[in-house]
Amino acid sequence: MAVFVKRRHDAPRGFFEVEAAGLRWLAVPGGVPVAEPVDVSPSHLSTTRLEAAAPTGAAAEEFGRRLAVTHDAGARHFGVPPDGWDVDGYIGDAALPHALDPVKSWGEFYANLRLQPYLRAAYNQGTLDSHQLQVFEKVCVRLEAGAYDDPSEPPSRIHGDLWSGNVMWCPEGVHLIDPAAHGGHRETDLAMLGLFGLPELDRVLRAYDEAHPLAAEWRHRVGLHRLHPLLVHVVLFGGGYVAQALAAARSYS
């Protein structure tokens, strides 16, 4: 069996182990296939080697239908880590807080574990000033007050870092790689798919909506769900992403 090996001798504690746990957790029957973990240690992760192929409309539609199945596998609560993991994880090189105990709502989870940690880090780095910080804090207040909660939407089993670079088009269909898996909102994965562009995105979303009808106003919340990955980019890569994050935040404050 051909394998793909990622190595990093200075990897933070649990860096590869939580990725492997996330891949296993996402591998649900009928869901999107993943790069299957073969071997993992503190300094490496081996997975099945995937062969790249050109995106097609048919593969995009299958991806959309399968992603709905993955999400519908569910999670115990918002912010829960993948099975077999009980501490925080990572999104790229940034720490990703997990909720080990249930939280009251998605809005509370998203404000306190997906926005606030990165706002504090960006402010402490000097990347955000106090006036910019206030814009984001207003969004957090609205989130905690339940302005964007949908009680009918249970926690989904999400990839958590589903930008186009983590969508692998293969001859046998799309596979997922490099997750930051946790219990979250299905709209988060869908919003991230389009953040940096994805081939055949409209067909993916249409097929998803046919498999699991989305809330009528879901497109109005795309920018809200993109705030987390944009703030991660602010922390990791600097001020080049501040304007984009601020523009999105002002729409929800």
Q: Identify the burial level of 123 via C-beta atoms within 10 angstroms of its C-beta, where 0-12 means exposed, 13-18 middle and 19 or more buried.
A: middle
- Predicted confidence at residue 9, as pLDDT, reads 93
Cα–Cα distance, 46 to 141 (Å, whole number): 42
Domains located in the chain, CATH noted: 50-251 (3.90.1200.10)
- Predicted confidence at residue 75, as pLDDT, reads 98
For the CA atoms of 175, 181, 186, 190, the dihedral, rounded to the nearest 10 degrees, stands at -50
Tens digits of residue pLDDT in 11-22: 999 999 999 999
Cα–Cα distance, 164 to 181 (Å, whole number): 16
Tens digits of residue pLDDT in 170-229: 999 999 999 999 999 999 999 999 999 999 999 999 999 999 999 999 999 999 999 999
Percent of the chain with pLDDT over 70: 100
- Predicted confidence at residue 123, as pLDDT, reads 97
Tens digits of residue pLDDT in 78-121: 999 999 999 999 999 999 999 999 999 999 999 999 999 999 99
Both tokens of residue 90? 């990572």
Tens digits of residue pLDDT in 45-63: 999 999 999 999 999 999 9
Of the candidates 187, 192, 182, 190, which has an alpha carbon nearest to the alpha carbon of residue 159? 182
pLDDT at 39 over 90: yes
Cα–Cα distance, 99 to 131 (Å, whole number): 29
pLDDT at 239 over 90: no
Of the candidates 14, 78, 1, 68, which has an alpha carbon nearest to the alpha carbon of residue 40? 14
Both tokens of residue 10? 């200075």
How is residue 24 annotated by DSSP?
A: H
The type of residue at 253 is S
Say which residues have a Cβ less than 8 Å from residue 121's Cβ, sequence separation at least 6: 235
Cα–Cα distance, 203 to 64 (Å, whole number): 8
Q: Which residue has the higher pLDDT, 140 or 240?
A: 140
Q: Are 245 and 234 in contact (CB under 8 A)?
A: yes
Confidence of residue 238 (pLDDT cuts 50, 70, 90): confident
